[in-house]
Structure 1
Amino acid sequence: MFTQDVILENVLVCLRDMIPGAETVGPDSDMVDDLGLESVKMMDLLMKLEDDYDLSIPINILMDVRTPRQLAASLIGYLEKRNGPV
């Protein structure tokens, strides 16, 4: 079962794997300003999360999220639509 903490930790692991030297990535790190993620890396992150959770994430989600915590919270909504309460 997915919980918000589990999803957040997965987002953080994905980011740490994608960004060399990003061991200190935290839940409130700004993915663009702090981590330097450009659009291609953001798309890679979304595709990885889509594979991990077997769901389709609309690209416009990127307009509303700046931090891993915000991204995890948005994913909760999509998972609940598909699976019921998380």
Structure 2
Amino acid sequence: MTDRQNIFDSVTAQIAPFNKKEIALTETTTFAGDLEWDSLTVMDFVAAIEDEFDIIITMNMQAEIETVGQLVDAVAKLKS
């Protein structure tokens, strides 16, 4: 299993408690459109991701991340 796959698996595990509609998660799942998250949910989720991976996701990065795949790529980049 690749590092990216491990990150994807961890990210989807972190999404699970916030996935109220039980949407099937893929690389192209969007946080605002598919999961219908509000800003408070996004902030709670970002905090969970930062804790899980011991990283800091800046507000500028958050603004650019719209899909699960983009988040996985951002986490991989921050961890390297």
- Normalising by the smaller structure, the TM-score range is 0.7 to 0.9
Native 8 Å contact 2:28 2:69 kept in 1: yes
1:39-84 deviations in whole A, cap 9, x for unaligned? Answer: 111111110011111122212212111111100101111101xxxx
Cross-structure match for 1:12: 12
SS at structure 1 position matched to 2:24: coil
Map residues 1-86 of structure 1 onto 2, 5 A cutoff: 3-80=3-80
After TM superposition, the score normalised by the length of structure 2 is 0.85
Q: Which runs of 5+ in 2 are unaligned?
A: none
Measured on the aligned residues, the alpha-carbon RMSD in Å equals: 1.6
After TM superposition, the score normalised by the length of structure 1 is 0.80
Native 8 Å contact 1:7 1:72 kept in 2: yes
- Give distance in 1, aligned partners of 2:28 and 2:19: 16
1:19-58 deviations in whole A, cap 9, x for unaligned? Answer: 2232512221111011101111111111001111112221
